[in-house]
Amino acid sequence: MPDLSITTKCIPFYELSLDELYAVLALRQEVFIVEQNCPFLDADGKDQLAQHLMVFDENQQLVAYTRLFDKDVYYQGYTSIGRVVTVPKARGGGLGRVLMEKSIKKVLDLFGQAPIKIGAQKYLEKFYRSLGFELTGNDYIEDGIPHTYMIYPAE
């Protein structure tokens, strides 16, 4: 676990403050569109259906984020975690692991013991496997980036 003083907040879309929504959208654009050079419509109409897990640093700045979905909302038969992102300056210290561990726990707490499906960037396969996700064997390209579907087999 990184040596960070962090706080976590998870709320539905309509409870996000304007400042929280702005921070979330800015972080997603910074990483998914600018850093990864993928021009795509991030506002996909699913934010309103998600729980938004935000991690803040000691200065109350957003440093990590995920979207959490109930069963059948994003993938038929599965709950889901998506838009997994950390600020570039906070990478390499274990924050991504903390983010995913908190996200998995929150999905199970909110939505029950259903398996969790993710669409992971292929280069992060080993990381997600270390968290308990299993490969499905279904690779695909999204926005020019190799991805793979993975399942966390909740019991």
pLDDT tens per residue across span 63-116: 999 999 999 999 999 999 999 999 999 888 899 999 999 999 999 999 999 999
Please, what is the Cα angle at 152 between 150 and 155, to 5 degrees? 155
- Classify strands 79-86 and 134-142 as parallel, antiparallel or unpaired: unpaired
Average pLDDT across the chain, whole number: 93
Is pLDDT at 127 greater than 70 in this prediction?
yes
Contact 118/24 with Cβ under 8 angstroms?
Answer: no
User: What distance lies between CA 3 and its chain's CA centroid?
Assistant: 21
Phi, psi of 32 (to 5 degrees): -75, -35
| Structural domain boundaries, residue 142 | 7-152
Q: With cut-offs at 50, 70 and 90, classify the pLDDT of residue 4.
A: low
Q: Flag whether 60 is in a domain.
A: yes
Model pTM score: 0.93
Residue 20 lies in a domain: yes
CB 40 within 8 A of CB 143: yes
Q: Checking DSSP bridges between strand 145-152 and strand 134-142, what pairing results, if any?
A: antiparallel
What band does 1 get if pLDDT is binned at 50, 70 and 90? Answer: very low
Task: Please say if the pLDDT value at position 5 is more than 90.
Answer: no
How many CA atoms does the CB half-sphere of 10 hold within 13 Å?
Answer: 17
The answer to whether position 78 is within a domain reads yes
Give me the mean pLDDT over the 117-127 stretch.
Answer: 95
pLDDT for 3 beyond 90? no
Note whether residue 110 is domain-resident: yes
CATH number, domain of 141, equals 3.40.630.30
Q: What is the pLDDT of residue 38?
A: 83
Q: How confident is the model at residue 41 (pLDDT cuts 50, 70, 90)?
A: confident
Residue 111 and residue 29: Cα distance in Å, rounded?
Answer: 28
* Residue 1 in domain: no
In a domain, 2, yes or no: no
Number of domains in the chain: 1
